[in-house]
A = this chain, B = another copy of it.
Amino acid sequence: MNFASDNWAGAHPAISQRLLAASAGFSAPYGASKLDLKIEQRFNELFEHEVAVYFVSTGTAANSLALAAVNRPGGVSFCHREAHMLEDECGAPEFFTHGARLAPVDGDNGKIDPDSLNAEIQRFPPGFIHAGQPMAISITQSTEIGTLYQPDEIAAIADIAKFYGLPLHMDGARFANALVALNLTPAEMTWKRGVDIVSFGATKNGCWCAEALVFMNPKMAKDLPFIRKRAAQLLSKSRFIACQFDAYLQDGLWLTLARHANTMAKHLQNGIVNSKNARLAWHAQANEVFCVLDKAHADQLQEKGAVFYQWNPPRAKPGLLNQNEVLIRLVTSFATEADQVDRFLELLG
């Protein structure tokens, strides 16, 4: 009954087998192997667009280097007040951008509110050196609290980005989960709605370590080769990441895995709706479910083998918890088994 996080899961056998198959022979290092180049081409096809793609070893690296690519001195980037890059990356985005700031933007359901975004950007009049200069907007899809930006919501943020001439980044640590939940193509969820840069995460969805930073406009990434190398993120045996993507994208494996995770989450969510001991904190749409229950009951579940984290309530929901209640996060993954969900729900009661 492990619902701690999708990064507690291991690797899907197809990924591991592909790694084993690739282990012999000599190949050019540092992203120059045939396999690296083949996978880069695969990303072009995947996004139906000529993209520039850079493999890195962590999602934090992808997000940080995305911002590093588009920031200049005095830069300020806008993200949700509880965005992963603001709350959970230990200052990496600020570090890799040489101290550029992440400006928090409020919004319900884990999503940036366009009006709040607009108001925050307006605090930075063009050329007003004291405040700094807006450089980018970042959204997370699916969000940190398991919700989704609908296509028109992405477009609304992108309109603001375009108005101010700012690139729009999507933190896609759970890109696949969002994609299958919305039943969109990668193109439809990104550049067709105005997204310029994607942190395309595969680690949480069945790979060992495979993250790709994707630029819809390769010119935007012109310094990225140096930025990545200077960031110690240019892996010598880069083909090891490439071959994970090879298996991941083969025959829609990635979508299959994400669908499974989402299905498990839905199952879990339905159970919670019917539980007499817990209530949904909000409606989940991808592979993370948040629910409220008594602390004592939560403790009991953990004693009985359920693994999950307590979570800070969003600042926008100050009245979420009654006395003695806690908020817990339940994450499903490609590796979650239906009977484990059942068992959990049974214990939950």
Contacts and interface: CB of A to CB of B under 8 A. Distances in A.
Interface of A: 2, 4-5, 7-13, 15-17, 19-20, 22-30, 56-61, 64, 68, 72-76, 87-92, 94-102, 104, 123, 127, 129-133, 203-204, 208-209, 223, 225-227, 229-237, 240, 307, 312, 335
15 contacts: A4-B26, A10-B23, A10-B237, A19-B20, A57-B232, A58-B233, A73-B95, A73-B230, A74-B90, A74-B227, A89-B130, A94-B94, A129-B226, A130-B229, A208-B237
Q: Chain A contact residues: over half helix, strand or loop, or mixed?
A: loop
B100 A98 contact: no
Given A11-B240, A56-B232, A129-B225, 6 more contacts: A11-B237, A12-B23, A16-B20, A57-B57, A72-B226, A127-B225
A52 B152 CA distance: 45
Nearest to A57: B57
Nearest to A133: B226
A234 to B, nearest CB: 7
A95 B90 contact: no
A313 B129 CA distance: 19
Given A2-B26, A19-B16, A19-B19, A230 B7 contact: no
Copies per complex?
Answer: 4
Given A94-B94, A94-B100, A230-B90, A15 B23 contact: yes
A94 B87 contact: no
B29 A209 contact: no
B75 A7 contact: no
Contacts of A58: 57, 232-236
Contacts of A12: 23
